[in-house]
Structure 1
Amino acid sequence: MKRKWMVLLCALSLLAAAGCQKEADYQTVTPEVGTIENRVEDTGTVAWRDPTSVIPVVSGKVVSCAFEEGDAVTAGQTLYVIDSGDLEDQITQARLSLKTAQAGAAQSEAACADLTVYASASGTVTAVYCHVGDYIGAGTAVAQIQDSANLTLTVPFAPADAASLVPGAAAVITFPNQSGTVTGAVERIYDTPTALSGGREGVYVELSFQNPGTLTDAATATAAVGAAACMEAGAVCYATQQSIYAAQSGQVLTLDLETGSAVTQGQAVLTLKNDALTNAAVNAGLSVETARTNLEQLEAKRSDYTIAAPIDGTILTRSVKAGDFASAAAPMATLAPAHALCVNAEIDEIYIDRIWPGQEACVQFADDSGVERTYAAQVRRVDENGVTSGGVTDYTVELVLEDTSRLKAGMNVSVSIVTQRKEGCLRLPSEAVSGSTVQVLRDGQAVSVSVTTGITGGGYTEITAGLTGDDAVILP
């Protein structure tokens, strides 16, 4: 009996030892709280983002090109100068056209100004020759005026006496048929002597004086200036006795004249209507504006012949140099904005629906020393149209970089785009999860446990139900 118990105890010991050995053979992990990221990884190429073309709006020979490929330029910097000789010829002609139009407009304006008739002297209206509504022609006398208050007398003096006279000198005027004298003044001394009757020679002197109230232009008088007396009598004349003439033809619109009324020099006395003249003035004014606008537009085109950099950036290509012919609308060069390097990655169609602008990413490349350099990036744009090759369609995804140091256009880099991230979740290594089942070590035995999973990424799978942080999950 004792022997039987001994055998049983040995068997139990062997079984226990065998169980312990099996448990020790398992590699287990416990679920942990952490972050899971889902990423799409591929390769990409460093490129310039949004290159800008330098495009002229005019054609012509390039006379200057002040840059080379690879140069850094600033906005507004002159890149090309195109020959503008033809334009300058057009500007010269436009200036002449403007001057011609301005001269024509000035003539039309002067003609229209003549539609208003002004009194050429002060005096009294003695006759009016037209009425409102009449049609009169250019050169027609419209009224007669005279100034009977101011009189003149022109008489000859001996040349020697005339030589001693000066304008403004006081004169005494005597009327043969009347008593008394009138004081006047020397107004003008003629330049040359005049032959008089009896073989005499004299110099005429014009005197001015006020009408004492009874004289007319039929009176005669003599004069003396100091000790010098005139050689013979002369006729008294009104200071003003003339007609007012219309300089243009037309219909009388207004007439501010009547017989016996007084007018002053420069007073508007009549206006005419002449539609042909006024319309011509309007058209001449329009011609001036058209010519001026044409000139201004041509002068504004001068700037088109100097091609400047539209932005700060780096010259990528130069297709036109000095001496070449530039064509309007044909690119002459391309440049990329300063600090505008990006990375373009061609992403497979099966992943593209997980990528959109704004997602975080990183870019990596190994330098010549083998050091792996990592750059933070962000998805900027996803092309709507893909490129199909070999039955697979790829879509270009553009990444912008926070730092571009040591990067050059054309470099090949690795791209990793974060498409989903979840923090603070219960996770297991993905290798420990098979579908919706995990193997858990319980009481030394592997037990299949059903779990509910969430996102997967970075080698981890989220466990949303079925496990606790104390479970020992068997790794395969």
Structure 2
Amino acid sequence: MNTKKKNSAKMRRWMAIAGVAVLIGGGGAVYYKKTKAAAAAGVVYNAATVTKGDLTAVISSSGTVQPIEQYNVVSLATGDVLTDNLSEGDEVTEGQVLYEIDRSEAERNIQKYEIALKKQQISNEQTQSSLQNQYVKASTAGVVTELYVDEGDDVNSGTKLCEITDYETLTATLPFNTTDAANIFVGDAAEVWLEGTGEAVAGTVTRVASGSYISDAGVPVSDVTVVFKNPGAVTSGAQVSVLTGGYACNETGECELSACVTVTAKTSGTVTGLSINKGDDVTAGELLMTLDSDTAEVNGLSSELSLENAQLELQDMIDKLDDYTITAPISGTVMSKSYKAGDTLDGNKSTLCVIADMSALTFEMSIDELDIKELYVGQKVIVTADAVEGKEYEGQITAISIVGTTSSSVTTYPVTVVINDYDGLLPGMNVTADIVSAEVEDALMVPVAAVTRGSLVRVEKSSVDEADIVKEDGDYAYVKVTTGISTDDYIEIKEGLTEGQTVYISSSSQTTESTTEMNMGMMGGMTGSGPEGGYSGGGERPSGGPSGGGPMGG
């Protein structure tokens, strides 16, 4: 899209063609273009008059209007379309169900992933349990009676590590008459009599046999097991008798140490952190040593990651179920519909339908780098379309991008315009946009070509104060001016010139032609027909004026 500045309609009707000089005299006006032959003879200066008028600087561009928001609705799922709930032209609301896709295969896949996850959970529990086997702990309290390994030893699964004997707790299993045993229960308090000393100690029933047998005396008996604390130096084999719940054992029996445990390795590894020696007391659950194994640690970590992956895979499948229900991403109008119930989606992510928010139309202008700073968000834009003759639309700038595009050494920036009231416009129509970047009423102005580099203007030396002269050239001089807004043809003069003053424009600042065009018969009244005192002609080239030497036109 091309952009340019232009005058208001009123001013554009009066813009002189570049290179045309207006001469006033003899009751008429003569418009002519300098020929190449004249230009070849030297620099020619054309006169123009400083006038007043209204200046309007307009930035123009073109574009193609589109809905303010538009979505191509696609499906991430594959399968048969079961239902469609839309037609072209329908108004839909955000979240409204548009299509339902057959999800039966997806549901079966979820069941498969659930089974896979359960298997991985079991496997991980086993792996983590094996990993705990690195930590060798005492299964019972007691004394370390044997130690078979040293720090740094490599052991295999099943290797004996140590022996732990519990000297503090004794057990005795004695026969009771079966009829009495039926009234004895686990947890009942018991008195244990040491036959050797006659001492009685407290104990607890830990087991009552469910069966019975015939004793040597020919009486049906059932075994009852009692546990009790060693009151001193009682050893295995000491004779005891038991009384519990008012029932006495049928005969005496031997007591024995409650635990003599051989601790073995449940995994392979290197003995580290050995914290016991032979003869040490240990408590149940106390860490005795660690069997370091890099393989076990790697397997443990790998198992945890596999479990996490299985969980994620299942969740992904569950999340994908939502893909089988297609809903409207926005509220808007169904512009087109490509799929209907009974069609099959093959995974190519084809567009099912197009939904557009038609509450407003928008288009993008491409604005030259010289003009972009004159625009602002909220600025009014006048929009016209060739397809809708005689109608103007009002738009508004909603965004100005700072990311420019450079082509042929010219940088342009995208500017977004929104039209809310667009009756008659349709998406895809081409439009032209005008933005008034600046307006000045009753501005003092001269043709743009009159101002050269350095903001200098050529005038008759006699028309200015000597103190204002920057450079002299015979009967002419250059003065510095302060400029304001400009159009393609005129530029505002804020300081340095006065209304009615004559300025001189170098022919090198204007386009020359190989032919001479003359238009006679325009009467002297034309001087006053310019736009509010605008450009009215400049008189002919002064006789004896210099043919060169002035600054080149800007």
TM-score (normalizing by structure 2): 0.58
Among 202, 216, 222, the residue aligned to 1:197: 216
Among 134, 137, 145, the residue aligned to 2:164: 145
Partner residue of 1:274? 293
Among 186, 199, 202, the residue aligned to 1:181: 199
Letter in 1 for 2:360: A
Query: Residues 196 and 135 (structure 1 numbering): CA distance in 2 closer, same or farther, change over 3 Å?
Result: farther
SS in 2 for 1:332: strand
Asked if 1:230 is matched to 2:249, the reply is yes
Give the conservation status (yes or no) of the 8 Å contact 1:37–1:418: no
Letter in 1 for 2:296: L
Cα deviation per residue 1:387-443 (whole Å; 9 max; x = unaligned)? Answer: xxxxxxxxxxx9854523x5363899998968997743699xxxxxx96995236xx
Give the conservation status (yes or no) of the 8 Å contact 1:174–1:223: no
Partner residue of 2:240? 221
Worse-superposed segment, 72-81 or 284-293 = 72-81
Query: Residues 310 and 209 (structure 1 numbering): CA distance in 2 closer, same or farther, change over 3 Å?
Result: closer
SS in 2 for 1:110: helix
Partner residue of 1:361? 382
Offset at residue 316 of structure 1 (A)? 1.5
| 1:56-455 equivalences in 2 (<5 Å) | 56-166=75-185, 167-175=187-195, 178-187=196-205, 188-225=207-244, 228-327=247-346, 328-341=348-361, 360-361=381-382, 363=384, 375-377=393-395, 401-404=419-422, 406-407=423-424, 409=426, 423-424=441-442, 439-440=523-524
Q: Provide the rounded CA distance (Å) in 2 between the counterparts of 1:113 and 1:224.
A: 43
Cα deviation per residue 1:304-346 (whole Å; 9 max; x = unaligned)? Answer: 33333333322221122222223533222223323234799xx
Query: Residues 190 and 86 (structure 1 numbering): CA distance in 2 closer, same or farther, change over 3 Å?
Result: closer
Offset at residue 113 of structure 1 (A)? 0.5
Letter in 1 for 2:353: A
Aligned length: 390
Letter in 2 for 1:409: L
Q: Provide the rounded CA distance (Å) in 2 between the counterparts of 1:288 and 1:314.
A: 46
Query: Residues 125 and 379 (structure 1 numbering): CA distance in 2 closer, same or farther, change over 3 Å?
Result: closer
Cα deviation per residue 1:126-162 (whole Å; 9 max; x = unaligned)? Answer: 2122222333333333222222222222222233443
Give the conservation status (yes or no) of the 8 Å contact 2:84–2:100: yes
SS in 1 for 2:75: coil
Cα deviation per residue 1:356-401 (whole Å; 9 max; x = unaligned)? Answer: 998843559999xxxx8654357999xx9xxxxxxxxxxxxx9854
Letter in 1 for 2:344: F
Query: Residues 340 and 197 (structure 1 numbering): CA distance in 2 closer, same or farther, change over 3 Å?
Result: same
Query: Residues 233 and 74 (structure 1 numbering): CA distance in 2 closer, same or farther, change over 3 Å?
Result: same
Give the conservation status (yes or no) of the 8 Å contact 1:122–1:262: yes
Give the conservation status (yes or no) of the 8 Å contact 2:385–2:429: no
Offset at residue 108 of structure 1 (A)? 0.9
When Rg is computed on C-alpha atoms for both structures, the one with the higher figure is 1
Partner residue of 1:350? none
Partner residue of 1:462? 534
Cα deviation per residue 1:206-241 (whole Å; 9 max; x = unaligned)? Answer: 233333323211322334457654333211211222
Give the aligned CA root-mean-square deviation in angstroms: 4.7
Give the conservation status (yes or no) of the 8 Å contact 1:366–1:373: no
Segments of structure 2 that go 5 or more residues without pairing to the other structure are 1-50, 365-370, 406-415, 446-517, 540-554
Query: Residues 342 and 142 (structure 1 numbering): CA distance in 2 closer, same or farther, change over 3 Å?
Result: closer
Give the conservation status (yes or no) of the 8 Å contact 1:249–1:274: yes
Query: Residues 52 and 222 (structure 1 numbering): CA distance in 2 closer, same or farther, change over 3 Å?
Result: closer
Letter in 2 for 1:361: I
Give the conservation status (yes or no) of the 8 Å contact 1:46–1:407: no
Worse-superposed segment, 289-298 or 407-416 = 407-416
SS in 2 for 1:316: strand
SS in 2 for 1:463: coil
Q: Provide the rounded CA distance (Å) in 2 between the counterparts of 1:359 and 1:312.
A: 27
Query: Residues 310 and 149 (structure 1 numbering): CA distance in 2 closer, same or farther, change over 3 Å?
Result: closer
Letter in 2 for 1:149: E
Q: Provide the rounded CA distance (Å) in 1 between the counterparts of 2:99 and 2:262.
A: 70
Letter in 2 for 1:83: D
Q: Provide the rounded CA distance (Å) in 2 between the counterparts of 1:89 and 1:304.
A: 15
SS in 2 for 1:255: coil
Offset at residue 82 of structure 1 (A)? 2.3
Q: Provide the rounded CA distance (Å) in 2 between the counterparts of 1:169 and 1:183.
A: 11
Kindly, what percent of the aligned residue pairs are identical?
28
Query: Residues 228 and 87 (structure 1 numbering): CA distance in 2 closer, same or farther, change over 3 Å?
Result: closer
Give the conservation status (yes or no) of the 8 Å contact 1:36–1:461: no
Query: Residues 417 and 258 (structure 1 numbering): CA distance in 2 closer, same or farther, change over 3 Å?
Result: closer
Q: Provide the rounded CA distance (Å) in 1 between the counterparts of 2:340 and 2:179.
A: 88
Q: Provide the rounded CA distance (Å) in 1 between the counterparts of 2:430 and 2:523.
A: 40
Q: Provide the rounded CA distance (Å) in 2 between the counterparts of 1:204 and 1:378.
A: 100
Q: Provide the rounded CA distance (Å) in 1 between the counterparts of 2:397 and 2:246.
A: 116
Offset at residue 48 of structure 1 (A)? 4.9
Give the conservation status (yes or no) of the 8 Å contact 1:426–1:464: no
Letter in 1 for 2:201: T
Query: Residues 125 and 35 (structure 1 numbering): CA distance in 2 closer, same or farther, change over 3 Å?
Result: same
Query: Residues 410 and 437 (structure 1 numbering): CA distance in 2 closer, same or farther, change over 3 Å?
Result: farther
Query: Residues 197 and 135 (structure 1 numbering): CA distance in 2 closer, same or farther, change over 3 Å?
Result: farther
Offset at residue 110 of structure 1 (A)? 0.6
Offset at residue 254 of structure 1 (A)? 2.8
Q: Provide the rounded CA distance (Å) in 2 between the counterparts of 1:101 and 1:179.
A: 60
Give the conservation status (yes or no) of the 8 Å contact 2:53–2:533: no
SS in 2 for 1:320: coil
Q: Provide the rounded CA distance (Å) in 1 between the counterparts of 2:85 and 2:329.
A: 15
Segments of structure 1 that go 5 or more residues without pairing to the other structure are 1-31, 345-354, 385-397, 428-433, 442-447, 468-476
Letter in 1 for 2:426: A
SS in 1 for 2:303: helix
Q: Provide the rounded CA distance (Å) in 1 between the counterparts of 2:274 and 2:216.
A: 48
Query: Residues 86 and 186 (structure 1 numbering): CA distance in 2 closer, same or farther, change over 3 Å?
Result: closer
Query: Residues 464 and 103 (structure 1 numbering): CA distance in 2 closer, same or farther, change over 3 Å?
Result: farther
SS in 1 for 2:288: strand
